[in-house]
Structure 1
């Protein structure tokens, strides 16, 4: 995936959901900044927090659950312990069985974005581990639509338009 050229200019107002995270001593690596793996941990955490609190996802029992299809991150400047990170979330694309999230990490009191990541989830049936033939269930979809920044085509139109690829088709 190519970098999102506009992501370096993102501000908090570009996102619809946020969480605060107090960095820990163990988040820093030997280069005295937050380790790259911690960014992925935080991005995954804000997404799952939103899915659980606002979309009705119950990870141990939900009939559908998300599988990670891809992830990437653009790093712009470091954050270190003991700073407070502000994680911001939006949905850039919502397809029949998949969703493309964008997560930004800001430092409390600093306007410039520190990093912007992209996560792609494919929602699958718990029993088959395949995308559900009916797509993302309505409760999940309604919650995700609240974060959508650019309206996506309806699930039925994405099936008829090959230019609107759905990562679930690769499974």
Structure 2
């Protein structure tokens, strides 16, 4: 993967509290940043309403491979793309790059399954969410 493969970018500052006793951003922060970037994109860009909509998106699988360290006060350039778009699911792929030198620090993915709010059964992804997701699908 190279950073040209991602179709949506977000700059994320690290925070003092993100550093752990080893002097770098703790691994749990990487997952939190990916989850936050994905949900922010769905809400702001695709009009997804996680609080009142008929559907919610559940994370059923996630993974992260750590490549390099990052520490406060550096920033993280987080790239998103859709690796696979199914009927009721989406595989988000993320690349996290150190802002100071563009080094790849982590690559990860989240799989969301869209389900009905009440019955928690898989449901076809509705427009405009699907239309916006399609814009992030890589060839």
Smaller-chain TM-score range? over 0.9
* Structure-2 residue corresponding to 1:12: 3
- CA offset at residue 12 of structure 1? 2.2
* Alpha-carbon separation, structure 2, partners of 1:49 and 1:98: 18
SS at match of 1:102: strand
- CA offset at residue 112 of structure 1? 2.6
* Alpha-carbon separation, structure 2, partners of 1:31 and 1:109: 20
> Is residue 2:138 matched to residue 1:149?
yes
- After TM superposition, the runs of 4+ consecutive aligned structure 1 residues lying more than 6 A away are none
Greater percentage in helix: 1
1:102-157 per-residue CA deviation (whole Å, 9 max, x = no partner) reads 0111111423311001100000011111112xx1112111010010003xxxxxxx
* Alpha-carbon separation, structure 2, partners of 1:126 and 1:110: 43
Residue correspondence of structure 1 range 19-98 to structure 2 within 5 A: 19-98=10-89
Highest Rg: 1 or 2?
Answer: 1
* Alpha-carbon separation, structure 2, partners of 1:136 and 1:46: 19
Query: Please, which runs of 5 or more residues in structure 1 have no aligned partner?
Result: 1-9, 151-171
Q: How many residue pairs align between the two structures? A: 139
